[in-house]
Chain A
Amino acid sequence: MKGFFDKVVNGLAWLAGWLMMAALLMVCLDVTMRYFFNSPIGGVLQFSEYVLLYIPFLASAYVLREESHIRIDIVLNRLSPGKERVINMITSFLSFLVMLVLTVFGTFITLDYYGRGVPVLKYYKIPEFLVIMIIPFGCLVFGLQFARRAYNLYREYRENPWSGGKH
């Protein structure tokens, strides 16, 4: 299960990366077509905007697993490793709750848009739920990664309450 979740997290980060590369190539092609042939490709702007929304929500869990989210650790660094771990455990749990709230509300919005067939009225008319659904989905994966982090810290705490931990 742990290995499977890691693969999902890696896969989503790669998907974000390839979406970024696709946006890069499409924008270049669009500029070239517009400048030299006066014939821009339609919908590139719309696609790129969705990529910008998808990247953080696809990649956040990966960023967290790599411990690359910015944190201010001036206070934590002055605490004993045991206390630091307890605080990290609490903040990871709080972060999980934040993601849970966003997942639940995001799912309601997505289902509502799906039920009402709300469209996006831009270059291409596409169902809005396809755009917004990445928010609850990304928050779910991000939240699960926080839950994993909190659980690992808790397990370390149970094993040896006052020693330092990895996280």
Chain B
Amino acid sequence: MEWWQALILLLGTMVVLMLSGMPVALSFLLVDIIGAFIFLGGANGVVQLILNIEESLTSFSLLPVPLFVFMGDVMFHSQLGFKAIDVLDHWIGKIPARLSLLAVIGGTVFSTMSGSTLATTAILGSLLVPDMERRGYHKSMSIGPVMGSGGLSMLIPPSALAILLAALNQISVGGLLIAGIVPGIMIACCYACYVVIRGFLQPHLAPPFEVQEISFRRKIRDTAVYVLPLGLIIFLVIGLIFLGIATPSESAALGALGTLALAFAYGRLSWEVLKKSILGSVKITGMMFIIIVGSMTFSQIMAFSGASSGLIQIVTNLDLAPIMILICMQVTLLFLGCFMDNLSMVMVAVPIFLPIVQALHFDTLWISLIMLINMEMANTTPPFGLLLFVMKGVSPPDTTMSQIYRAGLPFLLCDTFVMMLVMIFPQIALFLPSLMK
């Protein structure tokens, strides 16, 4: 079979199955079985497929996935950190669009402790949006910042999806986690500048209100009690990896235990919280891991069928600068992100893109980070971004989907801006990993 025939067979079947509403993981596995029969030698191919499943999952580097998700679930169900939002609120003072800014700062702080974008968005949304609505904030200034900064959980460690992407791209898990810090903070700064400037120029969108005066002494005390202890989790997850004291898997375990300990110390850890968090993380992990199993085997079958090398030949023979090919890849991902969830999108794209990235001698860590920004954007790209629906769930009942789409748009532009900066200046992503011990 010619490589293009193999490509059409594999990708075509996959697209048809996915569009028919078959679970993404099962679409991968069915194509894997067909591909294994044809390209890996009949029944022996299926035996190989099962051995691949075992090999792809028994990897210690994947351990942070369930643990980061667990951390997010504990944070969400125990409402740990809710008080921290109040304390941050006291510090902000009389700045234009202060609640929108609070959403951005709170979202960034939560992102450093939660590996789940859903949990962060749901926490911020349920905490801040009702208050913003009550104070007359326009939807664009209430929903938008919450949705944008909730998505930062994917970029700023701990990030479960960064682990999966690193495993799939066969790069350093710690490196990719640390690489997300600077771009994540840059995006947060862009969001903050945007909401403050817009609040200043159009004050009717975020009406100013009297803020209760809090003494400096009390602010310091509240910060010491409710905010600083959360720094322990940040240190356990980011600090230990950066200092080379623990591997990402070990940091994830320590971070998860630290989250449990803090929830306990604040009197918020109950059997109900633990039960919901355990089952919640098992559910997400089960779903993610079955997809990754299918996707990893799909890459191998693409390689065996000759489809990958055929594609590489076509792309490298194109009269295009490598950076243009990179841009085309990202535009394709952005387009896919409008119709697919971010996990499926990357799992379908990586087996095709990775060989091309390697053939063009791009730094895989850099490309992975750009993909991660793209995955973050896919969360809020209409019409099917996951966070759009989370926001719909936690927004007031009169909120329409088109209001949510419009609210997210300026934040998508901020993401695009930072993604372009990372493309032009790779050091933004690569500087911190280069300092790691």
Q: Which residues of A contact B (CB under 8 A)?
A: 13-14, 16-18, 20-21, 23-25, 27-28, 30-31, 35, 45, 48-50, 52-53, 55-56, 58-60, 62-64, 66, 68-76, 84, 87-88, 90-91, 94-95, 98, 101-102, 105-106, 108-109, 131-132, 135
Contact = CB atoms under 8 A, between A and B. Distances in A.
Contact of A63 (B58, B62, B283): B283
Contacts of A62: 282-283, 286
B18 interface: yes
A13 B283 CA distance: 8
A157 B231 CA distance: 55
Given A94-B17, A102-B49, 10 more contacts: A14-B278, A17-B279, A20-B70, A49-B58, A49-B60, A56-B57, A68-B283, A70-B344, A74-B339, A109-B47
Interface in B318-339: 339
B146 interface: no
Contacts of A68: 283-284, 287
Contacts of A84: 21
Contacts of A31: 246, 250, 253-254
Contacts of B30: 94-95, 98
Given A87-B20, A109-B51, A59 B282 contact: yes
21 contacts: A20-B67, A20-B70, A23-B253, A27-B254, A48-B60, A48-B249, A49-B59, A49-B60, A59-B283, A69-B23, A69-B26, A70-B291, A71-B24, A72-B339, A72-B344, A102-B33, A102-B50, A105-B43, A105-B50, A109-B50, A131-B58
A135 B29 CA distance: 13
Chain B interface extent, by class? 35 or more
B232 interface: no
B20 A74 contact: no
B281 interface: yes
A121 to B, nearest CB: 13
A90 B340 CA distance: 21
A32 to B, nearest CB: 9
A21 B289 CA distance: 17
Which one of A45, A53, A62 has the highest number of Cβ atoms from chain B below 10 Å of its Cβ?
A53
Interface string B125-141: 00000000000000000
B293 interface: yes
A24 B256 contact: yes
Nearest to A66: B283
A94 to B, nearest CB: 6
A87 to B, nearest CB: 6
A104 B70 CA distance: 33
Contacts of B315: none
A70 B378 CA distance: 15
A86 to B, nearest CB: 11
Given A17-B278, A109-B51, A72 B24 contact: yes
A55 B22 contact: no
A70 B289 CA distance: 12
Given A17-B279, A55-B289, A70-B291, A132 B54 contact: yes
Given A28-B257, A74-B339, A105-B46, A16 B51 contact: no
B384 A27 contact: no
Interface in B3-56: 17-26, 29-30, 33, 43, 46-47, 49-51, 53-54
B63 A91 contact: no
B343 interface: yes
A63 to B, nearest CB: 5
A101 B46 CA distance: 9
Nearest to A60: B286
A58 B60 CA distance: 18
